[in-house]
Amino acid sequence: MKKTSTRLADGRELIYYDLRDDAVREAVDPRPLDPVSTASEIRRDPLLGDRVAIASHRQGRTYHPPADECPLCPSADGRRSEIPDSSYDVVVFENRFPSLAGDAGRCEVVCFTPDHAASFADLAPEQAALVLEAWTDRTAELSHLPAVEQVFCFENRGAEIGVTLGHPHGQIYAYPFVTPRTELMLRSLAAFKRSSGGRNLFDDIVAEERAGRRVVLEGEHWLAFVPHAAHWPYEVHLYPRRRVPDLLGLDEGARAEFPRVYLELLRRFDRIFGAGQPPTPYIAAWHQAPFGGLDGHDGINRDDFALHLELFTIRRTSGKLKFLAGSESGMSVFINDVPPEAAAERLREVASS
């Protein structure tokens, strides 16, 4: 992998990740852009104890542009995009309309491929491996920013999810706090370690799921399963078999096997609802140990946390979506219409030949 860092016309950082070591990236962004001005603010809810990002400037962000005006395609034929070069393998750049900025964190966009019509599932294994390297590198770099306590790499796919740009891409949020979902995991992890005489909750969950009937696929280094208490109609958790706290901890074997396992999972998601259906909308979310904020969880450290990816769709059956209504949105109590065992069986049925 070759990494080349440059700056866009408004001062934002852009990084090319190339498969070839001899790639040259010298294109300059000629657009007359004003310096980025954001007003992100983090407010704490005193009742729930969580945080809300107030980012009014995002009201003016790019919204469903036509394909020939996509800001994530390479610049070509006189049309200038967010990527100055006429080609790229993988690109990461600071979001022009960030939810988090300055002391409130940082937001980045990850372009998986220059092919506007593709999806992550269409990537070649070496391209998927390069995305993994980009996620890992950005996690390392962002963890050194003074305000950052947690790095979150994720992909939203599909208009049903709320995606406003159709080009295959993901995002990275560098939070200045530990997210509420991670706080819940840390709380459960610490309580289980105390009550079990030192055992690790993640290890016990993985061992129990591996021995059960919700495993979707298993490799030498990765295990994918539908969790016992899945929140979403089709939800898969992907764990490295060797517990590590973050993407930086993956060994070469896990890195080499990841593209095959992950691409197969994504392709199965697109086959869940049968031939002729539109692509399955999904969210793919990496959960990594925070780099700070562990002081309130006695008895555990970063190495107790288990890196894993959660992949889920809001589609519950052909033509029907799972909406977060009263119980889910009002009280955070999910109601799942698809039994996890049935979801796992379906995901095994649609394995590629």
Burial (0-12, 13-18, 19+ Cβ within 10 Å), 57: middle
Active site residue 231: no
Instruction: State the Cα–Cα distance between residues 55 and 40, nearest whole angstrom.
Output: 5
Whole-number Cα distances in Å, 278 to 154, 275, 292, 304, 317 = 21, 9, 41, 40, 12
What pLDDT was estimated at residue 267? Answer: 97
What pLDDT was estimated at residue 352? Answer: 65
What pLDDT was estimated at residue 179? Answer: 97
Instruction: Supply the pTM of this predicted model.
Output: 0.96
**Would you say 91 and 137 are in contact if contact means Cβ atoms under 8 Å apart?**
no
- Selecting among 169, 237, 287, 297, the annotated active-site residue is 169
> Consecutive sets of 10 residues in the chain, 353 residues long: mean pLDDT of each?
97 97 96 85 95 85 88 94 98 95 93 98 98 98 96 97 95 97 97 96 98 97 98 98 98 98 97 91 98 86 97 95 96 97 97 68
What pLDDT was estimated at residue 127? Answer: 98
Q: Which helix (H) or strand (E) holds 2?
A: strand 2-7
What pLDDT was estimated at residue 303? Answer: 96
What pLDDT was estimated at residue 56? Answer: 82
Question: Tokens 């999972």 identify what position?
Answer: 265
Give, as one character, the DSSP assignment of residue 11: S
DSSP calls for 209-225:
HHTSS-EEEE-SSEEEE
Number of H helices, E strands in the chain: 6, 15
Instruction: State the Cα–Cα distance between residues 186 and 177, nearest whole angstrom.
Output: 14
CA angle (219, 161, 345) in 5-degree steps: 35
What pLDDT was estimated at residue 197? Answer: 96
151, 164, 38, 176 alpha-carbon torsion, rounded to 10°: -20
